[in-house]
Chains A and B, each alone.
Chain A
């Protein structure tokens, strides 16, 4: 099992109520509900992905996160997940601010644009392509990419407390030495809460 799932799983209590913003095909929620008997709901805006959620038996709501996430507040969610989706929204700052009105804790994963291979790609004068960022610049849904430093700064400025964090390599395995994470991590995995 990839460490990404392992880390995220640890943060999710059995039987909790989960909202997965940008849930894709719903496989993560499906996994979680099999392992931890959670009550999960996905939010997705892409028809093909919604269809796959239904096929996977995952509850999904057709909704564009850019239209806001505040409407999910007061729904008793324990944890909100945004796995590699924060960089796809038009206003990440607003989403980050609103997300803690939805649940007290939130799990956010970001592809790190400071990763050395990406820097190398840019050094070559091209938009970088990697395992975590596989699409060409004109096809990607990622419109607000950031580095680990950038993300943590945004959290700090928005009164978001990073409770725990992990850095992963391209294969989703934990990086033991976090000293130069902004250079060597392909992905950051965060558990955040209110300050």
Chain B
């Protein structure tokens, strides 16, 4: 008889919510009168409080970055990197992971109840930006009395936050690891996001964003938007290898009109996503991505902005990523180089397209580990 052994991790972890009855002012001028920030911590804070790392999640991620909590079905999104003896070793480091404003996984967002109206914010939740997230993470940092981050790291939209941190708070970020990200969303990024938003908005159950009041959910729109998104996270090569032109086994078809495995996969993923994600959140998050432009209007502006950085930068891209192609990353490093900011850039192969930032490989782990553990002394 086969015996399955589950290795029980001894990593210390906590899941908490910071509740503040103070206003938060968003970059767009709007504010909410109180807010909540859901966050996880992994590992142990040392006495000197000098071992803290902030990891920032991507578009549809959450504060659940590592391990499994009681109700979790799966491990956190960066579990391959964070844990005892892993790249970000929780025997050594104390990792903080915050759910971003506007999300639907615990921090204040469209699903939260507005204290003034006693109804969910829905479409009225303020537009969020990467800078708003960084500011909210700073509030949590102060609350936890963390004096500085040894490293701020993130992939995709999370990488944009890492870069923003290094720029906005240069004195308290020692290292920033910016992965599969960009300094400026491209017209192609905006175009893809716009198609996704239109899919959601044109769903008859969207009701101009007030679907909660109508007891409806724009499930079809959300599902289709995610299907499109999912294609952009993978590479052609990856799809070829994983699915090829294989036809779906009739017994496991999600719907009878499905022919190919790739169709079945996308519908399955889209459907699952539509059950856990919020449509207004989808719109907010894609808008935040579109708005991200840390470059200003030209390279000179960008260099002036980068000049503020005191952290060491590690910028990683993946060859198979066509959502944020390598040149976006190289562009950041070369401008940092121009103004003499300590910065490195590397392009890794990555076989998963944009999603490569989630998956550990020897090369990827080595680089991040060496970067993190280098000490100026």
Contacts and interface: CB of A to CB of B under 8 A. Distances in A.
Contacts of A17: 340
B33 interface: no
B338 A75 contact: yes
Interface stretch (B66-74, B217-225, B262-270, B366-374): B366-374
Interface residues of A, number: 21
Interface stretch (B85-93, B245-253, B344-352): B344-352
Contacts of B345: 60-62
A51 B366 CA distance: 7
Interface in B8-43: none
Given A41-B337, A71-B334, A51 B342 contact: no
- Interface SS of A by simple majority: mixed
Contacts of B366: 51
Contact of B370 (A41, A51, A62, A63): A51
B124 interface: no
Contacts of A62: 330, 345-347
A9 interface: no
Nearest to A26: B344
A191 interface: no
Nearest to A17: B340
Given A54-B374, A55-B370, A57-B376, A76 B347 contact: no
A110 interface: no
Contacts of A71: 334
Contacts of B338: 74-76
Nearest to B373: A55
Contacts of A63: 330
B337 A54 contact: no
A59 interface: yes
A39 B343 CA distance: 11
B333 interface: yes
Interface string A32-55: 000000010100000100110111
Given A61-B334, A61-B337, A75-B337, A54 B342 contact: no
A47 B330 CA distance: 16
B81 to A, nearest CB: 16
Chain B interface bracket (under 10, 10 to 19, 20 to 34, 35 or more): 20 to 34
A68 B229 CA distance: 35
B367 A59 contact: no
A135 to B, nearest CB: 24
Interface string B197-216: 00000000000000000000
Nearest to B316: A62
A58 B312 CA distance: 10
A156 B156 CA distance: 49
A76 B337 CA distance: 10
Given A41-B337, A71-B334, A59 B370 contact: no
Contacts of A47: 346, 363
Contact of B344 (A39, A61, A74, A76): A61
Contacts of A60: 344-346
A102 to B, nearest CB: 12
A89 to B, nearest CB: 19
Given A75-B337, A76-B338, A53 B363 contact: no
A59 B343 contact: yes
Nearest to B363: A47
A17 B338 CA distance: 10
Interface of A: 17, 39, 41, 47, 50-51, 53-63, 71, 74-76
Q: Which 3 residue pairs across A and B have the least CB separation, nearest first?
A: A55-B370, A62-B346, A57-B374
25 contacts: A41-B337, A47-B346, A50-B344, A51-B363, A51-B366, A51-B367, A53-B344, A54-B346, A54-B370, A54-B374, A55-B374, A57-B312, A59-B312, A59-B342, A59-B343, A59-B344, A60-B344, A60-B345, A60-B346, A61-B330, A63-B330, A71-B334, A75-B334, A75-B337, A75-B338
Given A55-B370, A76-B338, 6 more contacts: A50-B344, A53-B344, A60-B344, A60-B345, A62-B345, A76-B340
